[in-house]
Amino acid sequence: MSLMSSLEDSSSYPPPFRQVSQLVRQPRVDSAESEQLDSGEDPIPVLDFQGLINQVVHSKDNINKLGEACKDWGLFRLVNHGVPPTLLSQLQDHAKQLFSLPFESKQALFTTPLSYFWGTPALTPSGTALSIKGTQNTNWVEGLNVPLSQLSQVQAQDHPTLNSFRILLEEYGKHLGRLSRSIFQSMAKNLNLDTVESESNLSEPTGFIRVYRYPPYSESDEDNPAWGMDLHTDSSVVSILSQDRVGGLQVLKDDQWFTVKPISNTLIVNLGDMMQAISNDEYKSVKHRVKVNKYRERVSICYFVFPGEGSVVRSSKYKPFTYGDFQKQVQQDVKVLGYKVGLERFKLNPSNNTTESC
């Protein structure tokens, strides 16, 4: 790639990102490197989706394995999930095409109910960037917020790529709704939750997708890494991630950071704050972050799902609250304090530690 083409490419990035993203980049991951990424030791627990839902082979061992992953990691890799590989690759291709549009064009194109953001993953319920108190480091990320229940309102007939992306997202949303519901039912079984009471703890109509692009940061190195997202936990019940071939996701376990390898045709499921509360702290809301690559941009697509509107989370360790209560408190803390306090706000016996990052 010539320096001139790199300079032209950088026009798609938000202006503050351009200067350190315009150096010559290495070529895309080739087939040999892809094989290397798919091989080697991977510490992340692996769950077979078909083993969880197939009544013929459904066993206590599968449920126990799920429970162990949720307790020890708060995260696992999902295989045999039934999402067509062609759909996953088409979503990635379309996302990259849309992100490659000039910055100003994206601002004009992605309008209600879609929203475009950059520099922070902290958004208001409507999908706009949240105003944060104090001086904050800019997160090296841009993204598209997609409320799945409103996708039919997207008018994109005059933009074929966006219209095709909308159709792909509708199909993907149906698959992810299926996966999240089945996974939650298996978790509820492992936790011995009352089936009727827990029914509203996960509501598919609340699902939304965020598509992220992390530009390369040429000045990043091991001693001074650049972050696409700082340390945080998700507020969801579960989040389901599809990565491209460029790694960067890291999760914290036992005070040690582990890199979540991008492996073909697998999805990453991580638990959020709502699931930790629903499980009475038996399961963990995993702390994670995203490290920016020095040479290559990274694209990921994440699905989030929440309790139904008005559904009350009840636990012996937390005062009763709805997700709306939680979301309102998080937004207030981020505005006033500059960071997310999260579940600690709702604990019956809170600790003195309220320094969780947003």
Of 250, 83, 105, whose CA–CA distance to 168 is shortest? 83
Give the pLDDT score at 83.
98
Secondary structure class of 7 (helix, strand, coil): helix
Strand extents, DSSP E, the chain: 46-48, 75-79, 115-118, 142-147, 203-214, 227-232, 238-243, 249-253, 256-259, 267-271, 288-291, 298-306, 312-315, 318-322
For domain 41-346, the CATH architecture is: Sandwich (2.60)
Chunked in runs of 10, what are the mean pLDDT values of the chain (358 residues)?
46 86 50 49 92 69 93 97 97 97 94 92 87 72 96 83 95 97 94 90 96 89 83 97 96 96 96 98 97 94 96 95 97 90 92 46
CB 339 within 8 A of CB 356: yes
Query: Residue 326: exposed, middle, or buried by beta-carbon count in 10 A (0-12, 13-18, 19+)?
Result: buried
- Sole residue written with tokens 């790694």: 247
- As a whole number of angstroms, the distance between CA 295 and CA 178 comes to 36
Contacts of 215 (CB under 8 A, 6+ apart): 13, 17, 21, 140, 142, 292, 297
Query: pTM for this structure?
Result: 0.90
pLDDT at 33: 46
pLDDT for 143: 97
CA dist 348 → 187, 192, 307, 316 (Å): 24, 22, 21, 8
CA pair distance 296, 247, nearest whole angstrom: 10
Separation of alpha carbons 113 and 96, rounded Å: 20
| Amino acid found at 288 | H
Neighbours of 200 (CB within 10 A): 14
Give the residue carrying structure tokens 């559904």: 311
Q: What is the pLDDT of residue 55?
A: 57
Burial of 308 (0-12, 13-18, 19+ CB in 10 A): middle
Six-digit token string for 15: 């202006």
Q: For every residue of 57-92, which 3-state class applies, written as one string?
A: CCCHHHHHHHHHHHHHCCEEEEECCCCCHHHHHHHH
Enter the tokens of residue 322: 């709805």
Tokens 């996974």 sit on residue: 183
Among the listed residues 292, 290, 295, 294, the one whose alpha carbon sits nearest the alpha carbon of residue 268: 290
- C-alpha span between 87 and 167 (Å, rounded): 11
- Give me the amino acid identity at 126: S
Looking at the DSSP bridge assignments, the partners of residue 267 are 78
Domain boundaries, the chain: 41-346
Torsion angle of alpha carbons 129, 134, 140, 141, nearest 10°? -10
